[in-house]
Amino acid sequence: MQVKDNTFLITGAASGLGAATAERLVAAGGRVVLCDLSDAVEAHAERLGEASRAIRGDVTSGDEIQAAVDAAVELSEGRGLAGVVHCAGVVSVAKLVDREGNPADLDAYNRTIQINLVGTFNVMRLAAAAMAKNAAGEDGERGVIINTASIAAFDGQVGQCAYSASKAGVVSMSLPAARELSRHGVRVMAIAPGVFETPMMSEIPDEAAQALAASVPFPKRLGKPDEFARLAEQIINNAMLNGEVIRLDGGIRMQ
């Protein structure tokens, strides 16, 4: 699948990894629909110019994501939605039992699962239904879906029960989704980032960020959003990448 002249839906595109991916795909000649809850998505689409459209949408809403998929099909001028890079997500931290002995809040747990896991399924199902209608390209390919997991799916830390479980769900959907969508010529991949310099991570105190950077075997720094975007671009380009989760983490293993 080539980026040039194809149209991609990017969720979580107002910020961080999604914003960087939108920028890279436009620079490579693609068209992008930027979808995000935040209205900052409009300014980012304006910066990217004519090849992009912004749409406010919540990844947990069927109607709003269908509208984003429809916007991408329209922007494609007849070629259809070629790919999705699904970056929308939230981080959450809560202990099962806090210092005062209170149990964790169940609504907060549900919210993380809804956005990160159910939201991913929602985006996949609507995108895949649109892609299945595309004309087949080389090898019968019709589309590619790239989800965003996290190394917390494998190395969850204290307080990450909700976040780790949500991302482990994203990891484990990759293979069954890829197997099922193979008959439509749609690939499914996931990227599991380590620690990246994005607004999501900016809430961590400087000292903690430095300690995290020092614990990366190589390179000893946080990842840059464009490094995520470059991997997403390679996954789009390389038809043999399917049904797999790629850690992008400099070799870090969380304790």
Ligand X SMILES: NC(=O)c1ccc[n+]([C@@H]2O[C@H](COP(=O)([O-])OP(=O)(O)OC[C@H]3O[C@@H](n4cnc5c(N)ncnc54)[C@H](O)[C@@H]3O)[C@@H](O)[C@H]2O)c1
Positions marked catalytic:
163
16 binds ligand X (CB under 6 A): yes
User: Quick one: 37 or 177, whose CB is closer to ligand X?
Assistant: 37
Q: Comparing C-alpha atoms, which of 6, 4, 12 is closest to residue 225?
A: 12
Shortest separation between residue 245's beta carbon and ligand X, angstroms: 12
Going residue by residue from 145 to 164, which x/- string records binding to ligand X, judged by CB under 6 A? ---x-x--------------
Helix/strand/coil (H/E/C) assignment for every residue in 177-190: HHHHHHHHCEEEEE
Strand, coil or helix: 67: helix
Which residue bears the tokens 């994501």? 65
7 binds ligand X (CB under 6 A): no
The residues in 28-47 that bind ligand X, with binding defined as CB under 6 A, are: 36-38
**The one among 17, 146, 162, 181 contacting ligand X by CB under 6 A:** 17
- Helices within the chain (DSSP H only): 16-27, 40-48, 62-75, 106-113, 119-131, 161-181, 206-214, 225-237
Shortest separation between residue 120's beta carbon and ligand X, angstroms: 9
249 binds ligand X (CB under 6 A): no
Going residue by residue from 78 to 117, which x/- string records binding to ligand X, judged by CB under 6 A? ---------xxxxx-----------------------x--
201 binds ligand X (CB under 6 A): yes
Dist CA 173 CA 242 (whole Å): 12
- Write the CB contacts of 138 (distance below 8 Å, at least 6 apart in sequence): 239
Q: Comparing C-alpha atoms, which of 122, 21, 109 is closest to residue 66?
A: 122
- Tell me how crowded residue 40 is: count the other CB atoms within 10 A of its CB: 16
Shortest separation between residue 148's beta carbon and ligand X, angstroms: 4
User: Quick one: 37 or 128, whose CB is closer to ligand X?
Assistant: 37
User: Quick one: 142 or 245, whose CB is closer to ligand X?
Assistant: 245
Query: Is there a contact between 239 and 1 (Cβ–Cβ < 8 Å)?
Result: yes
235 binds ligand X (CB under 6 A): no
The binding site for ligand X (CB under 6 A) comprises 11-12, 14-18, 36-38, 58-60, 87-91, 115, 119, 148, 150, 193, 195-196, 198-201
